């Protein structure tokens, strides 16, 4: 699967909620997530624990740059995350844990994440799943429009993942 995404430091969640509503979007859910990352030779491998839901093992690759970027990923859903985490920990070794409170909002096919990440602060992320019938350039332009609408400045944009930011502390 593929998506395009962009992430920024962001504090005004009230403004973000208002923008989502003005764009015809809506609140979806609150997610308490812990992402356990493992050492792998390429890409990223994380086990995402979501309070009250099944966990997801996610492998992904993407460029680290502060602009709309494409991500390729595979997801495996598991109802036995603790055992999977134990086995992956033995096989690869745990790299880090990213703990976050995520408010998920939706504007058509775009997921808007309002994230509060332990040790890192508050962020906004836009993700659009790339469908075969959709033009990737038009989807990227949509995300660029949202950056303007949400009043996100270029210096707020992030090239790196929460994992990278956490490891840099």
Whether residue 7 contacts residue 158, with contact meaning beta carbons closer than 8 Å, is answered with yes
pLDDT digit string (tens) for 76-113? 999 999 999 999 999 999 999 999 999 999 998 999 99
- Helical packing angle, 136-149 and 13-22, nearest 10°: 130
Per-residue exposure over 57-74, b if at least 16 CB sit within 10 Å of its own CB, e if not: bbbbebeeeeebbebeee
Query: pLDDT class for 163, splitting at 50, 70, 90?
Result: very high
What share of residues in the chain are helix, strand, coil (percent, to 5)? 25, 45, 25
What domain count does the chain have?
A: 1
pLDDT digit string (tens) for 110-124? 999 999 999 999 999
Predicted TM-score (pTM) of the model is 0.95
What pLDDT does 128 receive?
A: 95
Q: What's the token pair of residue 37? A: 């990352």
- Taking phi over 0 as left and psi of -120 to 50 as alpha, with beta for the rest, 52 belongs to left
Domain of 22, CATH number, reads 2.40.320.10
What pLDDT does 134 receive?
A: 79
Whether residue 135 contacts residue 99, with contact meaning beta carbons closer than 8 Å, is answered with no
Identify the domain containing residue 149 by its residue range: 2-167
Q: What's the token pair of residue 19? A: 């923008």
pLDDT digit string (tens) for 9-68? 999 999 999 999 999 999 999 999 999 999 999 999 999 999 999 999 999 999 888 889
Q: Across the strands, what pairs with 31?
A: 102
pLDDT digit string (tens) for 129-154? 998 877 889 999 999 999 999 999 99
- CA 58/CA 39 separation, integer angstroms: 13
Cα-only R_g, the chain:
16
Cβ-based neighbour number of residue 16 at 10 Å: 22
CA 136 to centroid of chain Cα atoms: 18
């Amino acid at each position: 699967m593929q998506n395009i995404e962009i992430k920024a430091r962001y504090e005004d969640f009230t403004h973000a909620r208002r923008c989502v509503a003005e764009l015809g979007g809506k609140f979806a859910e609150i997610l308490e997530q812990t992402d356990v990352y493992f050492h792998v030779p390429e890409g990223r491998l994380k086990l995402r624990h979501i309070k009250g839901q099944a966990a997801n093992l996610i492998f992904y690759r993407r460029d680290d740059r502060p602009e709309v970027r494409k991500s390729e990923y595979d997801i495996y859903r598991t109802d036995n995350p603790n055992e999977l985490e134990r086995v992956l920990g033995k096989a690869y070794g745990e790299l880090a844990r990213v703990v976050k409170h995520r408010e998920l909002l939706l504007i058509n096919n775009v997921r808007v994440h309002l994230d509060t990440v332990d040790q890192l602060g508050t962020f906004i992320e836009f993700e659009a799943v790339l469908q075969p019938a959709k033009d990737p350039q038009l989807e990227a332009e949509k995300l660029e429009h949202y950056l303007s609408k949400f009043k996100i400045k270029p210096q707020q944009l992030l090239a790196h993942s929460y994992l990278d930011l956490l490891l840099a502390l």
